[in-house]
Chains A and B, each alone.
Chain A
Amino acid sequence: MPSRVNPTTSRSDERFETEETFFPVRATIEAVLHGVALVALAFLVWQAVHVLRQRPAVYAAGNSVRASLVRWTTRQAPEKAHVALDSVPTPDLRDWIAALPGAGTQMSWEGGSLRPSAVAVEPVPDPKHKVRIWVAAPAKSMVSLSDALGGIDSVDVETGGAVLTVPGVEGDVGATVNGTKATTVQRDSLTIKPVLVLGVASWEPKFIMASLEEYGWKVDSRFSISPKSGDVVQNVVPSAVQIDTSKYAAVIAVDSSAQRYAGQIAEYVRKGGGFIATGDAAALPAFAELMPGHPGTASQEHDFDLDSVTPRTAISLAAISQLKPNAVPIEMRAHEVAVAARRVGQGRVLQVGYLDTWRWRMGGIEKSIDPYRNWWATMVSSIAYAPRHPIANSSPVEPTPMASLVSILGTPTSQKPPSGSFLDDPRLLPALFGLLMFAFLVEWGSRRLRGQP
């Protein structure tokens, strides 16, 4: 009877054969995983060589730009890079992007949603609103203005810009439009000197003076009362009025009594002073060389309409005609020049054709005080002499962020650079590495569970 046991076969060999028989599929899978691991490893080696040899083109957008810049700068120097910006980057990020071409990366960018904006600040010879802020922004956008102390104001831009006058600003002034903040600082301040009003004591100079004082101007005055008694003065030495740019921001002459100061006023204007002539003062031959035009005959005299809702259309007007070549009409009434301005030497001259403007304040509609006061204050401010003084300020500002971006990064393009093959995808490396490790560990684990080395 033949033995049932093969004496040449050990127990272990027997078990092996049994397992080989039972796990052919498992062995096959292990072999496949082994192969996958080897292929992945080989691909990773090839990829490393490929990246070193041929750098890829890469792309980043929005919030990922900064992280991408870190990667591109420290681990991967792409041949081409394209960034899509959804807001104007901070100066450091912008400069970082601009520096990449220096490392051999061809940069391009786009910013389809970015809108240009700009902000500027200038001092104004106005005691109430000393600073004017200019903002350029896209139409139909809202601009928020702020300074170092907090929010200043916000304004809806209708056509492309806005101008605001404010009492003052502190530190950096920012204008935020669609998330982009333009910043600037006030670089000059003005010395605002008093205004001198000259005239015979009457309602016109009195109301001009009172309104300017109420507005915030410091006003000196000299009103003629009587040759014997002299003049009624305010803040002026009665014996002599010294009209000079060191003393006055502007001089207002209301009537012919200014004749005696004609020489001083002409010199004052040539040195930079501001001069406003109205009423009979504008018709004085002594001021003819200074005036922007020739005063006409008074119209609508004595027919001021007490119920007028537009008082300046109702008060008397001596329309200004025969404007000199460098004269500019400032205000028109119908087709007539009501106010005109002209530069003379370094100064400015304003000729006001309206007569008896005090009736506007006394007899206009109920809310006539502020418009009258503001109108005269604006007239004075427009010609006032105010020496500038620089303000020391070294903080970095960006008054035109979009323009600076274009200037530094070049013209934006909406065409992304070719991204190359999927091999250039930075996500490929970790994916391959993960696959390698997975295949290796599974294959190794499976073999160990079978008792194989």
Chain B
Amino acid sequence: MVKDFTFATAMYESGDWESAPLLPGCVIDALARYTSLSIAPMGVNVALGSPEIFNFPFVWLTGHLPVRFTDQERKNLKQYVERGGFMMIDDHNHDQDGIFHKTMTEELTRTFGPLKEVPKTHELYHCFFEFSDGPPATVAELSGWGDQLVHKELHAVMPQGDRIGLLYSLKDYSSEWNMHPDTKQFSTVDPTRFGVNMIVYALTR
């Protein structure tokens, strides 16, 4: 009995959790395109503060606006990571001086302590597609939007050894992958391939 993988987007009370509505479908499309995994065709939205979050070991969280978690959201987030879930948090602003980054890293540091840098040799970059230079650059970075930087690494919470429980990105994959799947045909390289790596990593480590 192989259960379907379900792409879940976290809803939180502050900020704009729904800022990348097309992203789940685009990543699901990539998963279906490159793997033979059993995948739920539609993503789900699940409240970070509800116990239902624990039914989805992979959760995507994004936004532009300031974030302040409620006590229950903070508690669930901590338990979620400790229990073995994988949460991807992406700054939709691509701005290290942006309000989302500042408030979110403040929340994460408060909950987990300082985030760790994910080395380029990490399994995340090699478990399916090969990303030997680390996380792929996004159009937002290359176009000079946001903080006008190409961030060379991602950061993470690693509760056990080098196993990632929470991956934090300033690269704005939320903009990069927030498109209709058919749009990918106009790209030389499918930008959502790194999304496949993230999910394969979450499912196998």
Report A's interface with B, CB cutoff 8 A.
Answer: 200-207, 209-211, 213-214, 221, 223-227, 229, 232, 234, 255-256, 279-280, 298, 304, 306-307, 355-356, 358-359, 361-363, 366, 368-369
Closest 7 pairs (CB-CB, A-B): A201-B203, A363-B54, A306-B51, A226-B35, A362-B54, A223-B204, A226-B36
B84 interface residue per 8 A CB criterion: yes
B3 pairs with A206, CB closer than 8 A: no
User: Chain B: which residue is nearest A205 at the CB level?
Assistant: B204
A368 pairs with B160, CB closer than 8 A: no
For the complex, what is the distance from the CA of A200 to the CA of B54, rounded to whole Å?
21
CB contacts (< 8 Å) of B3 on chain A: these are 202-204, 356
Contact with A along B4-45 (1 / 0, CB 8 A): 010000000000000000000000000000111110000000
For the complex, what is the distance from the CA of A211 to the CA of B163, rounded to whole Å?
12
* CB-contacts of B50-100 with A (<8 A): 51-52, 54-55, 57, 79-80, 82-85
Contact among A201, A206, A221, A368 for B83, CB-based, below 8 A: A368
Known: A202-B37, A226-B34. 6 other contacts (CB 8 A): A203-B203, A209-B204, A221-B204, A227-B36, A362-B83, A363-B54
CB contacts (< 8 Å) of B36 on chain A: these are 224-227
A207/B84 contact (C-beta < 8 A), A201-B37, A358-B57 known: yes
A366/B79 contact (C-beta < 8 A), A225-B128, A280-B1, A359-B55 known: yes
Contact with A along B166-205 (1 / 0, CB 8 A): 0000000000000000000000000000000000101111
B200 pairs with A232, CB closer than 8 A: yes
User: Chain A: which residue is nearest B5 at the CB level?
Assistant: A202
B142 interface residue per 8 A CB criterion: no
For the complex, what is the distance from the CA of A229 to the CA of B1, rounded to whole Å?
22
B139 interface residue per 8 A CB criterion: no
Contact among A229, A298, A366 for B35, CB-based, below 8 A: A229
CB contacts (< 8 Å) of B51 on chain A: these are 306-307, 363
**Minimum Cβ distance to chain B for residue A156 (Å):** 33
A225/B57 contact (C-beta < 8 A), A200-B2, A306-B51 known: no
User: Chain B: which residue is nearest A207 at the CB level?
Assistant: B84
B84 pairs with A361, CB closer than 8 A: yes
For the complex, what is the distance from the CA of A358 to the CA of B1, rounded to whole Å?
14
For the complex, what is the distance from the CA of A306 to the CA of B37, rounded to whole Å?
26
CB contacts (< 8 Å) of A355 on chain B: these are 1
Contact among B55, B83, B200 for A361, CB-based, below 8 A: B83
The total of chain B residues at the interface (CB under 8 A) is 30
**Minimum Cβ distance to chain A for residue B160 (Å):** 5
For the complex, what is the distance from the CA of A209 to the CA of B201, rounded to whole Å?
13
* 12 A–B contacts from the bound complex (CB under 8 Å): A200-B37, A202-B38, A209-B205, A223-B203, A226-B37, A229-B34, A255-B2, A298-B1, A362-B54, A362-B84, A368-B83, A369-B83
For the complex, what is the distance from the CA of A368 to the CA of B51, rounded to whole Å?
14
B115 interface residue per 8 A CB criterion: no
User: Chain A: which residue is nearest B83 at the CB level?
Assistant: A362
B127 interface residue per 8 A CB criterion: yes
**Minimum Cβ distance to chain B for residue A103 (Å):** 68
CB contacts (< 8 Å) of A225 on chain B: these are 35-37, 128, 200, 204
A214 pairs with B34, CB closer than 8 A: no
A369 pairs with B200, CB closer than 8 A: no
For the complex, what is the distance from the CA of A203 to the CA of B40, rounded to whole Å?
14
Contact among B35, B85, B163, B203 for A362, CB-based, below 8 A: B85
A229/B128 contact (C-beta < 8 A), A203-B57, A221-B204 known: yes
CB contacts (< 8 Å) of A362 on chain B: these are 54-55, 57, 80, 83-85
B34 pairs with A369, CB closer than 8 A: no
A279 pairs with B54, CB closer than 8 A: no
CB contacts (< 8 Å) of A279 on chain B: these are 1
**Minimum Cβ distance to chain B for residue A151 (Å):** 31
For the complex, what is the distance from the CA of A160 to the CA of B200, rounded to whole Å?
51
A232 pairs with B128, CB closer than 8 A: yes
A280 pairs with B79, CB closer than 8 A: no
CB contacts (< 8 Å) of B57 on chain A: these are 203, 206-207, 358, 362
A202 pairs with B35, CB closer than 8 A: no
CB contacts (< 8 Å) of B52 on chain A: these are 306
For the complex, what is the distance from the CA of A307 to the CA of B51, rounded to whole Å?
9
Contact among A206, A224, A358, A363 for B205, CB-based, below 8 A: A206
For the complex, what is the distance from the CA of A362 to the CA of B55, rounded to whole Å?
7
For the complex, what is the distance from the CA of A360 to the CA of B42, rounded to whole Å?
25
User: Chain B: which residue is nearest A318 at the CB level?
Assistant: B1
CB contacts (< 8 Å) of B128 on chain A: these are 225, 229, 232
**Minimum Cβ distance to chain A for residue B30 (Å):** 12
CB contacts (< 8 Å) of A226 on chain B: these are 34-37
**Minimum Cβ distance to chain B for residue A56 (Å):** 75
A202 pairs with B160, CB closer than 8 A: no
User: Chain A: which residue is nearest B203 at the CB level?
Assistant: A201
CB contacts (< 8 Å) of A358 on chain B: these are 57, 84
CB contacts (< 8 Å) of A224 on chain B: these are 36
A206 pairs with B204, CB closer than 8 A: yes
For the complex, what is the distance from the CA of A298 to the CA of B3, rounded to whole Å?
13
User: Chain B: which residue is nearest A298 at the CB level?
Assistant: B1
Which of B2, B128, B160 counts the most chain A CB atoms within 10 A? B2
User: Chain A: which residue is nearest B35 at the CB level?
Assistant: A226
User: Chain B: which residue is nearest A280 at the CB level?
Assistant: B1
CB contacts (< 8 Å) of B80 on chain A: these are 362
CB contacts (< 8 Å) of B1 on chain A: these are 255, 279-280, 298, 355-356
A202 pairs with B203, CB closer than 8 A: yes
User: Chain B: which residue is nearest A356 at the CB level?
Assistant: B3
**Minimum Cβ distance to chain A for residue B95 (Å):** 33
B160 pairs with A201, CB closer than 8 A: no
For the complex, what is the distance from the CA of A232 to the CA of B127, rounded to whole Å?
6
For the complex, what is the distance from the CA of A155 to the CA of B170, rounded to whole Å?
54
